[in-house]
């Protein structure tokens, strides 16, 4: 015995973490089966009625990420029922299973079944990142609701940058988002700046359903109502 033995390295276990108040990461939250099912659903939504496309910004630049929406169509900087900047079709509905997955996500992230039941996301933005795609630091403030944003990541690992609510600069925290990870952003973190400075090519287990690139689904509550004002009860209609 030399006394100089080699110790095998233990893989680092990734644990639940609260990056900031209300910003909770649950690593490996989706099983590989669930990831593959969600990838298949995304392939269907990317085929139409609204195509997966690079969103054009008012500057004339296009986003490197490609996006398709459910429930409501997001374009800079509003939500509409039809995709006026992407062929004009009506957006596909938000399926009940995705609403329920969001409710379970909020309940588990916050350890609060009531918060899960109260969560009523009515839109999902599905973002596809190729190896070069990035997302600059921004706030999501087109929603007229304080409900949390639920983020699900599938495919290649991303470096996610979580900033502060004041400006797009430091202080920020970089977090790796791995295939299957859940992140919930609520409370004081809901309107924080954030971005994706890079994606790590070929970092995912192909069993997730994506051979290359990254999918991120964000579930949100727009605060908009489907009913037109004519369909809402007026003071005159009400007996109480």
Answer with the entry of Fe ion, ligand MD3, none that 161 interacts with (C-beta below 5 to 8 A by kind).
none
Q: Helix, strand or coil for residue 100?
A: helix
Q: Tell which one of 103, 147, 151, 222 touches ligand MD3 (CB under 6 A).
A: 151
| Dmax (CA) of the chain | 92
Binding mask 186-205 for ligand MD3 (x = CB under 6 A): ---xx-x-x-x---------
Alpha-carbon gap, residue 119 to 115, rounded angstroms? 6
Residue 199, SS3 per DSSP: strand
For residues 87-146, which are near ligand MD3 according to CB under 6 A?
125, 127, 135, 140
Q: CB nearer to Fe ion: give 140 or 176.
A: 140
How many residues sit in the footprint of ligand MD3 (CB under 6 A)? 17
Contact with ligand MD3 (CB under 6 A) among 19, 103, 185, 213? 185
CA dist 45 and 69 (Å) reads: 8
Q: From Fe ion, ligand MD3, none, which one binds at residue 149 (CB under 5 to 8 Å depending on kind)?
A: ligand MD3
Q: Does 130 bind Fe ion (CB under 5 A)?
A: no
Sheet holding 182-185, edge to edge: 17-20, 23-26, 182-185, 149-155, 214-220, 123-129, 62-70, 53-56
């Amino acid at each position: 015995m030399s006394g100089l033995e080699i110790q095998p390295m233990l893989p680092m276990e990734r644990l639940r973490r609260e990056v900031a108040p209300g910003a909770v990461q649950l690593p490996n939250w989706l099983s590989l089966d669930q990831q593959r099912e969600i990838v298949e659903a995304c392939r269907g939504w990317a085929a139409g009625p609204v195509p997966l496309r690079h969103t054009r910004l008012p500057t004339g630049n296009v986003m490197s990420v490609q996006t398709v929406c459910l429930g409501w169509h997001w374009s800079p900087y509003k939500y509409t029922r039809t995709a006026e900047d992407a062929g004009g079709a009506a957006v596909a509905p938000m399926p009940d299973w995705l609403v329920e997955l969001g409710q379970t996500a909020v309940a588990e992230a916050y350890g609060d079944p009531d918060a899960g039941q109260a969560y009523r996301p009515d839109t999902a933005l599905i973002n596809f990142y190729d190896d070069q795609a990035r997302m600059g630091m921004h706030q999501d403030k087109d929603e007229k609701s304080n409900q949390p944003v639920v983020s699900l990541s599938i495919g290649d690992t991303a470096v996610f940058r979580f900033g502060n609510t004041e400006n797009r600069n430091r202080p920020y925290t970089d977090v790796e988002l791995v295939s299957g990870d859940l992140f919930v952003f609520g409370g004081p973190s809901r309107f924080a700046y954030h971005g994706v400075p890079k994606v790590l090519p070929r970092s995912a287990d192909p069993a997730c359903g994506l051979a290359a690139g990254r999918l991120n689904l964000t579930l949100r509550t727009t605060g908009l109502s489907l009913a037109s004002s004519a369909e809402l009860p007026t003071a005159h209609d009400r007996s109480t």
